[in-house]
């Protein structure tokens, strides 16, 4: 296996340092990266370039700090780093690959130019805004991925060939993809920043993250097992049979990781292992999530979660399928019997007894108004598996040619689609 080893980074200024008189500063930076097992050459090359750019940015930040100080712009350290990234122009001077004892080494040398042409305008634009905070989140994502990648690489080195080893390599490949996505976001961030569209694009990006998360929940969020379906006749209703469907449902690890990543990207909060009391279900532990620090962002996700439903499809070899929905639109139907359907809830639906107040990621036993709970933006994730029976009434001729029953998640957003207007399935204990 290849061990991860970063060569030392060196930065050399090519021009004298005098921000009062010089409009441009040039510097060089270089970095090396040794490709490990499970990594691709493109990724190793990108890591070397990113490390070289990071070294250049640190030096460029010193120049930006001096220049903006002369211009009487009082910037925070984070704002200075953001300005430096926005005005830095990078040119790759050299890329080489060489075999070393530990494997294939990638070396990248860059020339970075810092121009003062738009520095003052850029500094004034981001001063006191949340722009620098977004950039720091990108850097934090890089740091997190680097730590996780290192951990999985070390694990892959110490695990013999087999399924567990392949699983470790899969984790490395996933971090590689995530690294590429962060690089893309970083490039888009600076493009928006320099063009002056950052604030509008930032809000749009937040919406896209939440929309993407909701799509992930719909596509991959629920793991549902359908047990043996039974048909029950009702003597007084000759032309109707009741199909009883035992269902077992839980949230996938994929969606739990996706929620965690979105909360990090949007500056939200997550509180794991929070115990809540739900009538008829006793105490259970949930993860409380507030997706985004702004109420508008958190409530947008909460509203999207409220529209999630499960669609049951009855397949027939001779006709169009029948549908019914497992969903509640406002509160619980017939008490709390609908609780098992969801594994991710707007916070209001989690507390059927005394409502717990949540404030800044912590909670106490005060019972606030319903408005406070609804507007909190919090969503609860229930990790326990739930088992219940759903039922739907169908004509005997359809049941006779029944070929299967499937369950999938949908979002109740388009009332024109017939399956979204399907009748509700009943739930029995």
271 and 382 in one domain? yes
Q: For residue 204, tell me if it sits in a domain.
A: no
pLDDT of residue 93: 92
Please report how many Cα atoms fall inside a 13 Å half-sphere around the Cα of residue 284, on the Cβ side: 21
Q: How far apart are CA 77 and CA 58, in angstroms?
A: 11
250 and 120 in one domain? no
Residues forming a β-bridge with 107: 32, 96
Q: Which of 122, 139, 156 represents a domain boundary (last residue)?
A: 139
Residues forming a β-bridge with 411: 308
pLDDT of residue 419: 65
Q: For residue 129, tell me if it sits in a domain.
A: yes
Residues forming a β-bridge with 96: 107
Dihedral sign of CA atoms 378, 383, 388, 391 in order: positive
**Burial class of 54 by CB neighbour count within 10 A (0 to 12, 13 to 18, 19+):** middle
Q: How many domains does the chain have?
A: 2
pLDDT of residue 328: 58
403 and 316 in one domain? yes
Q: Which of 118, 139, 160 represents a domain boundary (last residue)?
A: 139
Q: How far apart are CA 352 and CA 335, in angstroms?
A: 9
pLDDT of residue 110: 92
pLDDT of residue 354: 41
Q: What is the mean pLDDT of each run of 10 residues along the chain (429 residues)?
A: 31 36 76 85 88 88 84 83 84 90 86 81 74 84 87 82 84 86 82 62 77 89 90 82 90 85 82 67 75 80 86 89 74 49 70 43 40 64 85 90 89 66 77
Q: What CATH number is associated with residue 115?
A: 3.10.129
Q: For residue 163, tell me if it sits in a domain.
A: no
Q: For residue 326, tell me if it sits in a domain.
A: yes
CA distances from 171 to 36, 137, 149, 189, 222 (A): 13, 22, 8, 27, 22
222 and 360 in one domain? yes
Domain range for 349 = 213-428
Contacts of 421 (CB under 8 A, 6+ apart): 415
pLDDT of residue 20: 42
pLDDT of residue 21: 42
Structural tokens at position 201: 């694009």
Q: For residue 206, tell me if it sits in a domain.
A: no
pLDDT of residue 331: 41
Q: Which of 107, 139, 171 represents a domain boundary (last residue)?
A: 139
pLDDT of residue 73: 78
pLDDT of residue 415: 56
């Amino acid at each position: 296996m290849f061990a991860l080893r970063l060569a030392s980074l060196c930065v050399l200024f090519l021009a004298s340092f005098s921000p009062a008189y010089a409009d441009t500063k040039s510097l060089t930076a270089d970095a090396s990266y040794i490709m490990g097992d499970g990594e691709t050459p493109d990724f190793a090359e990108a890591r070397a370039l990113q490390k070289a750019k990071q070294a250049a940015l640190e030096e460029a930040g010193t120049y930006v700090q001096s220049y903006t100080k002369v211009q009487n712009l009082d910037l925070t350290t984070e704002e200075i780093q953001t300005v430096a990234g926005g005005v830095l122009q990078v040119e790759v001077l050299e890329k080489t690959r060489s075999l070393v004892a530990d494997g294939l080494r990638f070396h990248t040398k860059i020339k970075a130019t810092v121009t003062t042409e738009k520095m003052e305008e850029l500094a004034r634009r981001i001063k006191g805004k949340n722009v620098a905070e977004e950039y720091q989140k990108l850097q934090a994502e890089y740091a997190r991925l680097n730590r996780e990648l290192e951990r999985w690489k070390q694990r892959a080195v110490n695990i013999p060939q087999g399924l567990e080893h392949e699983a470790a390599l899969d984790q490395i490949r996933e971090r590689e993809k995530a690294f590429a996505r962060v690089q893309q976001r970083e490039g888009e961030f600076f493009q928006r920043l320099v063009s002056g569209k950052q604030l509008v694009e930032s809000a749009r990006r937040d919406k896209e993250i939440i929309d993407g998360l909701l799509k992930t929940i719909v596509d991959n969020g629920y793991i549902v097992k359908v047990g043996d379906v039974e048909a029950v006749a009702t003597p007084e209703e000759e032309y109707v049979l009741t199909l009883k469907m035992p269902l077992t449902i839980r949230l996938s690890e994929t969606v739990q990781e996706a929620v965690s990543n979105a909360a990090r990207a949007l500056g939200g909060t997550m509180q794991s292992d929070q115990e809540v009391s739900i009538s008829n279900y006793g105490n259970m532990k949930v993860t409380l999530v507030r997706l985004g620090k702004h109420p508008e962002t958190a409530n947008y996700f909460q509203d999207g979660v409220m529209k999630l439903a499960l669609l049951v499809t009855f397949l027939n070899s001779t006709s169009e399928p029948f549908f019914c929905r497992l969903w509640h639109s406002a509160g619980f139907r017939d008490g709390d019997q609908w609780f098992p359907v969801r594994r991710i809830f707007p916070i209001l639906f989690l507390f059927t007894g005394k409502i717990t107040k949540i404030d800044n990621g912590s909670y106490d036993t005060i019972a606030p108004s319903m408005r406070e709970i609804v507007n909190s933006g919090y969503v609860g994730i229930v990790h326990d598996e739930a088992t219940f029976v759903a039922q739907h009434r169908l004509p005997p001729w359809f049941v006779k040619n029944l070929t299967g029953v499937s369950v999938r998640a949908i979002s109740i957003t388009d009332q024109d689609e017939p399956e979204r207007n399907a009748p509700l399935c009943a739930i029995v204990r």
